Amino acid sequence: MAEGLSFKDYAIVACGTLAPELNYLKKQGFLGARRILYTTPGRHEAPKELESQLIQKIDAAKEHSNKVIIVYGGKFCYVNVDDPYKTMDIMIQEQGTGISISIINATHCIDMLASESQREKIRSGQKVWWLTPGWVMYRDNVFQDWDKGKANENFPQHTGGAVLLDGIGFWEKYSEEHPEKILEFSDWMGIEIQPHKITLDRLKNLLASCVVSDLE
């Protein structure tokens, strides 16, 4: 589905956590969008800030195109405890006056890189903590208010360790250039980090689906 479709009429608003993958697709010539705008990585931990940044980026995207694709998870990336009925979809629809705006069909960034069935196969029955290159690169943002105590409550129960979904050749280069950062992050998590090579086919198809739906 992904091949042969054009993104030249689109602007994209995405979580900065996915910047490594989206910039890679842009460099490869697949994602020729007019503009890609990123929010600060890890704002799922701060829903009010996420909403503010997302609205701001959508307004900026409107200046470049009347077709906007939102690369955010529809289920887990935005949870409004003050107004549980205000979902990501509703928030985005409120910004869509006069433009075509669509959200990628995935629950969160991990789901954009590997489907649930793919993840089941990768983890082989183990309980694992999923990572992406962005989670490693921007961990200070993603885990902004986490102290060692909270890390100890969450990570060690994942007896299968952490699995990093790598579709861009990230791990080899990063671990060679910044081995101390990998060791520090793994030590803080209290579990081992293992890379798992994937393709970006799922992400490409999810992006392409937004274009296809506009054509129908």
Domain-wise residue ranges, the chain: 11-108+200-215, 115-197
Helix (H, G, I), strand (E, B) or coil at 171: helix
What fold, for 11-108+200-215?
Rossmann fold (3.40.50)
CA torsion through residues 21, 27, 33, 35, sign: positive
Closest CA to 36 of 48, 24, 51, 45: 24
- Cα 100 to Cα 68: distance, rounded to the nearest angstrom: 6
- Cα 197 to Cα 204: distance, rounded to the nearest angstrom: 16
pLDDT confidence of residue 33: 95
Q: What is the pTM of this model?
A: 0.90
Instruction: Write out 113-163 in H/E/C secondary structure.
Output: HCCHHHHHHHHCCCCCEEECHHHHHCHHHHCCCCCHHHHHHHCCCCCCCEE
**Residue 82 to residues 51, 79, 85, 143: CA-CA distances in angstroms?**
13, 9, 9, 22
- Cα 73 to Cα 85: distance, rounded to the nearest angstrom: 16
Q: What is the mean pLDDT of residues 11-35?
A: 95
**Structure-block tokens of residue 178:** 């910044």
pLDDT confidence of residue 99: 79
Contact 191, 156 (CB under 8 A): yes
- Cα 201 to Cα 24: distance, rounded to the nearest angstrom: 13
pLDDT mean across residues, the chain: 89
Q: What is the pLDDT of residues 152-163, one digit of tens each?
A: 999 999 999 999
Q: Which residues fall within 8 angstroms of residue 31, CB to CB, at 6 or more apart? A: 7, 12, 22, 25, 207
pLDDT confidence of residue 75: 62
Q: List the end-to-end C-alpha distance of the chain, in Å, as a whole number.
A: 14
Q: What is the pLDDT of residues 63-116, one digit of tens each?
A: 999 999 999 887 656 556 666 666 777 777 777 666 788 889 998 999 999 999
